[in-house]
Amino acid sequence: MSKVPREDVLRHLPIRGREAFTTLGGKFRERIKRRQLNILRSFVPVLKHVLEPDEEILLSARAISPVTVLEELTTGWLIFFIRRCVLVVTNRRILHFPTTPGFTPRNSMSQIRFTDIESLKGGRKIKFRYKSGRGETFHRVLNGKKLGRILSAHMTGSSASTQYRGRHAVCPKCNSALVEARYQCPRCRLEFKNPRTARFLSILFPGGGYFYTRHIFLGLADAIVEISLIVFLLLFLLGHFSGDPRFQGGWPVAAILSAVLLLEKLVTIYHANVFVREYIPVEKTFRRISRG
């Protein structure tokens, strides 16, 4: 997706500069303005489409989407590149956009209505507690303290909430709320990547689940590891059954290789299942339609 020139962002988007371009103390800074416009320039087309009448942008922030402990254990430091996102705070809600490692959009989005937030703690980590009872944490939030302060100021404290009572996915084509665990938009019928196909491809092809969810680097790395394990296992079995003395009595090695291969497959399936929950459209490009 092409970026809008930084100087044109303000012409396209309704940004409340007295909040977006100021310090915690409320002082305007040109460098903050430049940084905010740089973050938003890749999101101009989708924001023009998704913003509601009279909705204004208060702040944008780069961050890391919520991750599970198992994701961190099986991916390590790479998780902080894989799960990058941009948060856009408006006067009504928080828009969450999963991104590439370069912070460009992935055509997926979700939202958090202020009325669905029970409580939050702002800082380098933003910890949300939703009215559904569920909680989640966004990590490495740029301007996390300011974001937390803005959110606290705009939360109404009302007991009313939406039917979702927390963060929920939104169709990037028609802006309709998506149904959890249903991988087709109920309104425009846009198809999304689904867990069943992700599992099938993860089992059948080396790196298949990662390629399916458009994590190409992980797919390549996984394919190299998986193919290497398969080759070593096949060489051992061929050597053993051909009578090669170097491979006789080495069944423990074969068992270890098989166990590692199985573990690697299970990790791939787990990751693919996590990634499809971001509701990745099957079509890479599509024509957006209005909510009317």
Alpha-carbon span 176 to 213, nearest angstrom: 22
**Could you tell me which residues come within 8 angstroms of residue 290 by beta carbon, excluding any fewer than 6 positions away?**
174, 175
**pLDDT at residue 150 is higher than 80:** yes
**pLDDT at residue 2 is higher than 70:** no
**pLDDT at residue 292 is higher than 60:** no
Report the candidate in 209, 184, 186, 190 with the shortest Cα–Cα distance to residue 268.
209
Mean pLDDT of the chain: 90
Helix (H) or strand (E) holding 225: helix 216-241
pLDDT of residue 144: 86
Mean pLDDT of 155-174: 85
Kindly report, residue by residue over 239-266, the tens digit of the pLDDT. 766 766 666 666 777 788 889 999 999 9
pLDDT of residue 218: 92
**pLDDT at residue 1 is higher than 60:** no
DSSP 170: B
Alpha-carbon span 255 to 192, nearest angstrom: 38
Sorted by where each begins, the domain ranges of the chain are 6-170, 196-276
- Three-class SS state of 213: coil
Report the candidate in 245, 238, 113, 212 with the shortest Cα–Cα distance to residue 168.
113
Both ends of the chain: CA-CA distance in Å?
Answer: 25
Kindly report, residue by residue over 19-69, the tens digit of the pLDDT. 999 998 889 999 999 999 999 999 999 999 999 999 999 999 999 999 999
Distances (CA, A) of 165 to 93, 128, 147, 194, 208: 13, 12, 21, 24, 34
Helix (H) or strand (E) holding 240: helix 216-241
pLDDT band at 156 (very low <50, low <70, confident <90, very high): low
Kindly report, residue by residue over 132-145, the tens digit of the pLDDT. 999 999 999 988 88
pLDDT of residue 111: 97
Kindly report, residue by residue over 66-118, the tens digit of the pLDDT. 999 999 888 888 888 999 999 999 999 999 999 999 999 999 999 999 999 99
Report the candidate in 30, 98, 17, 29 with the shortest Cα–Cα distance to residue 59.
17
* Contact of 208 with 202, CB cutoff 8 Å: yes
Q: What six digits make up the tokens of 229?
A: 């394990």
6-170, what's its fold?
PH-domain like (2.30.29)
